[in-house]
Chains A and B, each alone.
Chain A
Amino acid sequence: MPGREIQVVFRGLPSEAETRGAELRVRLSEGNTVSDLLEKLASASTGKASLVLDPARKTLRPEFLMTLNGRFLEKRLFPFTVLQEGDELEVFPVPSGG
């Protein structure tokens, strides 16, 4: 029997050229982690999203950072961070400005 679904918000695609970035609302199974989310997005995404997500490694490209609910989340914690209903994730390029 499938688990309950949750919905999270993912921002930051595709680039800093668009200051707000695209906003995706993604449905996940309860218990899914940040790594699960990125794998799902990387598998499904094409075009500009691949600027941010590495389709081979199915995670963020090295030159991007991520916040979860406004706080930085280290990449090593992605597999262990279980997402909750309404969580908000945002990615940023490291090379920004000056």
Chain B
Amino acid sequence: MGERMNGYLGRLANVDLSTGCVREEVLDELTARKWVGGAGLGAKILLEEIPPGVEWDAPENRLVFTAGPLAGTMMFGSGTFNVATKGPMTNLAVISQANGYFGAYLRLSGFDGLVLRGRSAEWVTLWVHDGRVEIRPASALLGLDAWETEDALRGELGVGERDVSVFAIGPAGQNGVRYAAIVGDRGHVASKNGVGAVMGSKRVKAVVASRGAFEVPVFDPQALRLANLECFEAAKAFGTTWKWGTGGGFSNLAKSGALPVKNYTTSLFSEHESMNGQTLRTKFLVRSMPCFRCAISHVKEVTVTEGPYAGFTGEEPEYEQLAAWGPQIGNTDLGATVMLTREVDRLGLDCNEASWAIGWAMECFEKGVFTLSETEGLDLSWGNVEAVRVLLGRISRREGFLGALLAEGVMRASRKVKGPAEQWAIYTLKGVTPRGHDHRGGGRWPELFDTCVSDTGTIQSSWSGIHPQFVDQPPLEDVFDPSEVSRVVGDFAGYRTFDDCLGICRLAAPHPKPLLACFNAVTGWNWTLADAREAGLRVITALRLFNLRHGLDPENERPSARYGSIPVDGPAQGRDIQAKWDEMRADYYRRMGFDPQTGIPTAETLKRLGLEAYAPHAG
């Protein structure tokens, strides 16, 4: 083991699934200071270990689980971790986060990260405990959904619910659905860009980490305690998540035209008040299911008390799931969103992509592109939640014409169907799945733009809007001004990516300044906000280098026809984000230190960030 380093265990576990060999790797201080942890370590490993030409399902691909220096400390919500890989939706990099317990337990079991390479001959699970990684047979788990897998593994290991953290794939990951997720701790997901499909391609059914006895060394525990309380106060002041969950903003999004309604065919959803977080928590029975050491405790389990699904218990739908299984599919029954949320998690699918794919299929059914023949008897009329439930199962098994088609994701499905329906699908041309909003309205242009130009395989700088004022930059005054949009996305880039290096839930620590104070208290490094941003920019730029090597075409950094279309009604009716797209993209590239035409990081940028060795034309 290396020298003691505050904030780090100093060890990575490197698992070769092809040989069954587990090797320990030292994480030294030089590497930690350059890449921080979490998303940063993931980006480094992708860039250094996956050469061009390696496909997402090849054994040479890596699947990297990393925590960050704050994970497993006394901070609220410090159970977060990242999954990095080359993902099947884009064939480019992805860094996807999940909350819960795994990030903390990985560290309490002795590791800052877990790197998987190769492909196992048989299905396995990996159990991280007591400073080692055990590879165990998983044949008995095949066919189980993600929740059943959690239960079965706890039974097999003879442990209680909070003794281990289990993240598993369901049928979707086993069957290579392109947007399969990794699901754990009862409803937490690393969902973007098919990380679950990669896990399935390596024949890993689940990863398990024990609540071990290792301790994360902290430079100044008292300073951390105080900074953590500042984070908590900032979290309570930011929106109403602490009170109503992420669904608390549902009605405001509806009234500002930012809900996805029937696949963007309209921006009007008058039933929003019966579907929002306030109604959900007022009408249904609610039980707290907090993440690791979380005082915000926004995660709940709910029991439906009225309607067709009365008596049904599942995890509380987050905003994304309320939107996905409410307006996007034309459903107005809140109880049905609880049912579909649980279904999607059990099957191990990304809820965003699943809802874009199914909403598109419903529009195709409405307009006669699909008939009962293509749907094999399913009535895909808007709002038919039972048909959606059946279709989700078919997708997860790649069953029948429509199940197999939609398992590829909406971009590939729509291109296969062709004709007018090709124009109705919501995606970015890179294949990245947007989150569950109508980004054309509600001040969400920055998020639409960010989703398209991001190098992380999901949003990069936005989260519930972009907040330049948090770091003393001028606020976004005009949300429909293209030059303002590219300014805030470019100038705010780096801050959120730095957060993603830390192993902390953003809902528990939304403000960069107190979060940085926590980082300094843990590491003792005394970084400034500028240092933090530079670290975040290094990660983004590393991912861009990886993406360029693996075929990124900057021409694909734009929305699909429907995703970037002009709203036909609602508050943003007539607004066109695409009119000045090329100017916005060039401005963003310039602000990022990329060539404004090609999107390639300049030599000066690479030198500044210490990435010269990875230059596109370097050895």
Contacts and interface: CB of A to CB of B under 8 A. Distances in A.
Interface in A51-78: 62-63, 65, 67, 70-72, 74-76
Given A63-B469, A74-B478, A16 B238 contact: no
User: Which of the four size classes fits the interface of chain B?
Assistant: 35 or more
Contacts, number: 105
B278 A72 contact: no
B38 to A, nearest CB: 21
Interface in B211-239: 238-239
Contact of A98 (B249, B257, B476, B480): B249
B133 interface: no
B483 interface: no
Interface string B603-619: 00000000000000000
Interface string B306-320: 000000000000111
Nearest to B320: A98
B247 A95 contact: no
B121 interface: no
B18 interface: no
A19 B478 contact: no
10 contacts: A16-B249, A17-B240, A65-B443, A65-B479, A75-B478, A94-B443, A96-B250, A96-B256, A97-B437, A98-B319
B18 to A, nearest CB: 39
A87 to B, nearest CB: 15
Contacts of A65: 256, 442-443, 479
B252 A96 contact: yes
A62 B469 contact: yes
A19 to B, nearest CB: 4
Interface in A75-98: 75-76, 90, 92-98
B464 A75 contact: no
A71 B68 CA distance: 43
Nearest to B276: A19
A90 B93 CA distance: 41
A89 to B, nearest CB: 12
B348 to A, nearest CB: 20
A72 B441 CA distance: 9
B79 to A, nearest CB: 20
Interface in A21-77: 62-63, 65, 67, 70-72, 74-76
B465 interface: yes
Interface string B570-592: 11110100000000000000000
A95 B467 contact: yes
A92 B240 contact: no
